[in-house]
Structure 1
Amino acid sequence: MITRDPDAFFCLARSLDADFGPATARAAFLVAPDGFALAEQSAQDNAYMADAAAFDAARASAEHRALQRAISTVLPTVCFAGNPDTPDAVFPNNVFGTAAGRYVVGRMRHEVRQREAARDDIRGFFGGVLDYAEIDLSTQPHPCELTGALVIDRARGLGFCGLSERCDEAGARLMHEAFGLRATLLFDLAPGEYHANVVLAVLAGRAAVVCPRGFADPAVAAAIAGFYPHALSCTEAEHAAFVGNCIALSADSVWMSAQAGAALAPAQRARLLEAGFRIETVALDAVEAAGGSLRCCIGEIF
């Protein structure tokens, strides 16, 4: 099923067991922020990006190394070299995604990001080292920026796809098929939002972090929150601090940036603890100048 109807979607979702696959990834991959700088094309539709003067390449690199060290304590984490010709490559989950036995290459909206999809080393890692089958969506015309636009409940095989300039309905359908999902809910993002994973996270199949202001229709945000036994509805301050851009890297840990962790209200923190998650944070202030946060930096290997 792929639909815009929340009632139909959740009617099906409630009938599904959490047996689609592992709820969290078995490994992660990163791309180093080499040549970290403002990507002017991406800034056209990413309101979270800072001005060029705010980009500090040395500090971003140090933060990124600290991120790899931190998450390597939870799961194996590889890091590919960056490239000054692809300044947004620090957010690889938009371009490369995985499901059992296969990897997907997304079609990016902006040419500066389309270059990332041509990397032979990353394709060689998935196709040659891991022996995953390739599903290449990068050459078709519909934007589909993978797990930036599509938030996936891996335990149930459910997709939540936010439509914007970065993903249209045809692109959403292509991703739904590529990841082999049972059902995908389509919804419009609010004006000024570019990716669903900035306003929504599904954590190990049992919790959701929702930023209602990021949805064109707040009722969709409420329906998603109502489906999960543990749900956080973020304030505008939490939304702006990238609380919604968090990720569960194990059954008992949720990761977010230090800025997000500082913005998280005590009651929200308590909800995550009640859901069985310890909260881990990593300082990413310099990286966040590029308009994404911790979850955006992490490519998941299933």
Structure 2
Amino acid sequence: MITRDTASFLQAASATAPDFGPLTARAAFMVAPDGFRLAEQSAADNRYMAQADGFNAARASAQHRDLQRAISQVVPTVCFAGDPETPDALFPNNVFGTARVDGQARYVIGRMRHPVRQREAGRADIRGFFGDVLGYAPVDLSEQPHACELTGALVIDRARGLGFAGLSERCDEEGARLMHEAFGLRATLMFDLAPGEYHTNVVLAVLAGRAAVICPRGFADPSVLDAFDALYGPHAIRLAPGEHAAFAGNCIALSEDRVWMSAHAGRSLQPATRDAFVAAGFTVATVELDAIEAGGGSLRCCIGEVF
């Protein structure tokens, strides 16, 4: 089911068992920030982006390598070359995603809102990696008209097959429905993001199926937060505004015992928030990504997951 009705969603979601798939990805992929600079089209609806003079391409490239090196200690991590014609391509999880549906592996290609990002969907090397090397079947949403920026717009609980689709200019209701079907989910809740928010994964993360990290100000309707409390309490971790602004909500678990976020996000964490991660069974690991965050995304945005 896919719905805007929180009560109906909770009724269905509460009955799901954590047997949909593995809790975390078996590998990761990244795209190097070659030609990293301000993408003016993306800046039109991403308030987190810095001005043009705030971009440091060399520092972003070095930090990106540090990130790959760090997470490679946890999962195999492939990094594709960047393209100066696609300056936002270092955030590949918006364009390419993977899933296993009825035991069959597939890769999903999203439909980006802005033309500068739509170019990324045509990359033959990434398509070839998933299709020809890994043998995943394609589900190509890139040519239809509805914006659906994959795991930027759709946060997925991989354990139970649940989706949380934040609607904005980057994802409409039809786009959410297409992603729900493409990832083969059991139930998806749609909701409006607060004005000024562009992606769900900046304000919400689900960690290894047992915890949720929530930025309350990121949701237009506060009643949606009750769904996270019901599903993930006592490990529904609500972030303060300063933690939200520092990208602490843009985090990811690549194993069952560690949550990754940027060093800036880590420094923003209040003691109570750190205690909440510990109570949920996670240690916090960080990588310095201030140059990359100038591009309006943070650590989770840089990581595509291979399931």
Q: TM-score, normalised by structure 1?
A: 0.99
Aligned to 1:205: 209
Q: Deviations over 1:212-237 (max 9, x none)?
A: 10000011023213320311111110
Aligned to 1:37: 37
Q: CA deviation at 1:278?
A: 1.2
- Secondary structure of the equivalent of 1:290? coil
Between the aligned partners of 1:235 and 1:271, the Cα distance in structure 2 is 13
Contiguous gaps of at least 5 residues in structure 1: none
**1:242 partnered with 2:242:** no
Between the aligned partners of 2:77 and 2:226, the Cα distance in structure 1 is 34
Between the aligned partners of 2:210 and 2:217, the Cα distance in structure 1 is 22
Aligned to 2:297: 292
Q: 1:137 aligns with which of 141, 145, 148?
A: 141
Give 1:1-302 correspondences, 5 Å limit: 1-100=1-100, 101-229=105-233, 230-302=235-307
Between the aligned partners of 1:202 and 1:32, the Cα distance in structure 2 is 25
The one-letter amino acid of 2:33's match is P
CA RMSD of aligned residues (A): 0.6
- Secondary structure of the equivalent of 1:142? coil
The one-letter amino acid of 1:185's match is L
The one-letter amino acid of 2:300's match is R
- Is 263-272 or 106-115 further displaced after alignment? 263-272
The one-letter amino acid of 2:118's match is Q
Between the aligned partners of 1:62 and 1:210, the Cα distance in structure 2 is 30
Count of matched residue positions in the alignment of Structure 1 and Structure 2: 302
- Secondary structure of the equivalent of 2:138? strand
Q: Deviations over 1:189-225 (max 9, x none)?
A: 0000000000000000000000010000011023213
The one-letter amino acid of 1:41's match is Q
- Secondary structure of the equivalent of 2:254? strand
Q: CA deviation at 1:21?
A: 0.3
Moved >3 Å (runs of 4+): none
- Contact kept in structure 2, 1:46 and 1:193, CA below 8 Å: yes
Between the aligned partners of 2:52 and 2:230, the Cα distance in structure 1 is 40
The one-letter amino acid of 1:11's match is Q
Q: Deviations over 1:152-208 (max 9, x none)?
A: 000000000000000000000000000000000000000000000000000000000
The one-letter amino acid of 2:207's match is L
Between the aligned partners of 1:95 and 1:254, the Cα distance in structure 2 is 23
The one-letter amino acid of 1:4's match is R
The one-letter amino acid of 1:288's match is E
- Contact kept in structure 2, 1:225 and 1:233, CA below 8 Å: no
Q: Deviations over 1:92-131 (max 9, x none)?
A: 0000000020000000000000000000000000000000
The one-letter amino acid of 2:285's match is E
- Secondary structure of the equivalent of 2:213? strand
- Contact kept in structure 2, 1:93 and 1:147, CA below 8 Å: yes
What percentage of aligned pairs have identical amino acids? 74
Contiguous gaps of at least 5 residues in structure 2: none
- Contact kept in structure 2, 1:209 and 1:234, CA below 8 Å: yes
- Is 218-227 or 71-80 further displaced after alignment? 218-227
Q: TM-score, normalised by structure 2?
A: 0.98
- Secondary structure of the equivalent of 1:121? helix
